[in-house]
């Protein structure tokens, strides 16, 4: 049975249809807005894997070049691995949706959002979140939705809902906001030094459009009236949780006041091991080891939260207004154009700047057309930065996402190519990490730019 709903949201009509395409998926919708057509599908396994102790959600956003009547670039003339743009949109969809699944639900879930037809004047980010949520609402998979996303711009002081991509260079605000009918659950974006009041007004403005799209998804779900599948949730054992808490809470509280990350981690590891040994000696089964480790991890989060809200102390013993020791070094690499090391506590970034000619610019193509970048920031997070041993396999989603955050923070500080005719590349090598490494990249990058003689705004 095909069900379709539609509504005018802003100055466009949005329609969502289910029951016609991709019917073997657990949930699927065709989402239309103007010439933009998205196919969103979701599938989930019936049972979790034996011993599974986390929620394995995969979100993939894919752009098809036929959506604008073009061939893919490259030798093979077909879409291959996701571009950075597709990875960033995938992360935007993932972040607000992931917390909306029930605790203890460990079945594998895969969400695919594909652009089948495109319109350059319609930004896709918010619509992709809407389509993914609608697919979940059309399925029998447990989901505490719906939720919706919207992109907000501001041109000449006027807030704009889903502004055209070709107008965004005139905007002093670029926000992607996601939320439920009652609250906002995710914000990502950039602004040119707007006030708190102006940002809050933009969030309120965006939330009104979020509620309208949620109403549309609710109408779809009500008309479909599909019951959710029976769940076998892996819920916490109150007795085991109580035993873990009684033995470890005070010890973890004391350990979390240690300012040195490595010493603190070692102490916490020893507490976790002693807790495990004690409970096993009291008759806890070997099959509950993972549960104990998970409870200890949750307990540590509770300890950190209690220290902040009850005592005004952060997890390394700092007061709320106290910052970590900061140091900087510049011109640390003699053979490069600009370099600097920024250290804050136990987070450290080496920033390296390279200046090139226009032939070094980055050309890339997506559904909005061929584009070029004359400023780029690349972020690397090697395993040694957190004292781990891991296989190196190129930048992952996290590195691409964190690099994008740092790049967006710096790009408005860098002069335009017409004013400073050099292509600029910053590489941030994270040498140590104990939180906020993307912001450390911003600091090391700006220092390296100044070291390289780049005039910042």
Helix (H) or strand (E) segment spanning residue 267: helix 261-281
Closest CA to 27 of 109, 149, 117, 147: 109
For the stretch 150-205, pLDDT in tens is 999 999 999 999 998 888 889 999 999 999 999 999 999 999 889 999 999 999 99
Quick one: CATH architecture of 326-451? 2-Layer Sandwich (3.30)
Residues 405/447, Cβ–Cβ less than 8 Å: no
In terms of pTM, does the model score above 0.85? yes
| Lowest-confidence region among 103-107, 224-228, 317-321 | 317-321
Residue 443: per-residue pLDDT: 96
Adjacency order of strands within the sheet including 36-44? 3-9, 12-18, 27-33, 36-44, 109-117, 57-63
Tokens of 253: 């509280």
Would you identify the CATH topology of the domain 244-311? Arc Repressor Mutant, subunit A (1.10.10)
Residue 348: per-residue pLDDT: 96
Q: Using the predicted structure, report yes or no on whether residue 267 has a pLDDT greater than 70.
A: yes
For the stretch 287-311, pLDDT in tens is 677 888 888 888 888 888 888 998 8
Same fold yes or no, 3-224 and 326-451? yes
Residue 213: per-residue pLDDT: 96
**Distance between alpha carbon 241 and the CA centroid of its chain, in Å?**
30
Contacts of 341 (CB under 8 A, 6+ apart): 328, 329, 332, 348, 349, 350, 351, 431, 444
| Average pLDDT of the residues in 238-250 | 86
Going by pLDDT thresholds of 50, 70 and 90, the confidence category of residue 286 is low
Residue 281: per-residue pLDDT: 81
End-to-end CA distance of the chain: 58
Tokens of 343: 């250290």
In the chain, what are the domain boundaries?
3-224, 244-311, 326-451
The more confident residue out of 286 and 120 is 120
The more confident residue out of 75 and 29 is 29
Going by pLDDT thresholds of 50, 70 and 90, the confidence category of residue 84 is very high
For the stretch 352-382, pLDDT in tens is 999 999 999 988 878 877 888 999 999 999 9
Closest CA to 326 of 344, 341, 351: 344
Residues 138/85, Cβ–Cβ less than 8 Å: no
CA distance 299 to 153: 41
- Top-tier CATH class for 3-224: alpha beta
| Average pLDDT of the residues in 70-93 | 89
């Amino acid at each position: 049975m095909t069900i379709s709903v539609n509504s005018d949201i802003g100055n466009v009509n949005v329609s969502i249809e289910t029951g016609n395409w991709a019917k073997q998926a657990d949930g699927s919708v065709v989402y239309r807005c103007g010439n933009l057509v998205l196919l969103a599908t979701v599938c989930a396994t019936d049972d979790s894997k034996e011993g599974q102790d986390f929620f394995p959600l995969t979100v993939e956003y894919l752009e098809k070049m036929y959506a604008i009547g073009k061939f893919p670039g490259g030798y093979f003339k077909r879409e291959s691995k996701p571009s950075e743009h597709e990875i960033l949109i995938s992360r935007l969809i993932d972040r607000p949706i992931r917390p909306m699944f029930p605790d203890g639900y460990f079945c594998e879930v895969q969400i695919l959002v594909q652009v089948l037809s495109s319109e350059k004047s319609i930004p896709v980010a918010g619509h992709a979140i809407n389509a993914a949520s609608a697919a979940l609402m059309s399925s029998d998979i447990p989901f505490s939705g719906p939720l919706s996303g919207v992109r907000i711009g501001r041109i000449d002081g006027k807030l704009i809902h889903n502004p055209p991509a070709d107008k965004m260079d005139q905007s002093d605000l670029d926000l992607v906001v996601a939320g439920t009918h009652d609250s906002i659950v995710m914000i990502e974006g950039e602004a040119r030094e707007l006030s708190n009041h102006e940002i809050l007004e933009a969030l309120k403005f965006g939330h009104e459009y979020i509620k309208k799209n949620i109403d549309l998804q609710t109408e779809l779900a009500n008309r479909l009236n599909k019951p959710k599948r029976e769940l076998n949730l892996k819920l916490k054992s109150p007795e085991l949780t109580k035993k873990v808490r009684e033995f470890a809470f005070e010890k973890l509280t004391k350990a979390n006041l240690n300012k040195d990350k490595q010493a603190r981690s070692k102490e916490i590891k020893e507490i976790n091991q002693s807790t495990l040994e004690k409970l096993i000696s009291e008759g806890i089964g070997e099959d509950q080891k993972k549960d104990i480790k998970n409870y200890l991890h949750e307990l540590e989060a509770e300890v950190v939260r209690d220290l902040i809200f009850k005592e005004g102390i952060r997890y390394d013993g700092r007061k709320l207004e106290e910052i970590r020791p900061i140091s900087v070094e510049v011109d640390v690499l003699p053979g490069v154009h600009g370099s600097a090391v920024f250290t804050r506590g136990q987070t450290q970034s080496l920033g390296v700047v390279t200046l090139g000619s226009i032939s070094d610019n980055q050309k890339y193509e997506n559904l909005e057309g061929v584009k070029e970048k004359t400023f780029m920031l690349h972020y690397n997070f090697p395993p040694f930065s957190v004292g781990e041993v891991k296989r190196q396999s190129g930048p992952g989603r996290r590195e691409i996402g964190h690099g994008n955050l740092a790049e967006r923070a710096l790009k408005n500080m860098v002069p335009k190519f017409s004013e400073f005719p050099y292509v600029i590349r910053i590489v941030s090598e994270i040498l140590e990490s104990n939180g906020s490494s993307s912001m450390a990249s911003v600091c090391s990058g700006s220092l390296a730019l100044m070291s390289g003689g780049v005039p910042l705004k």
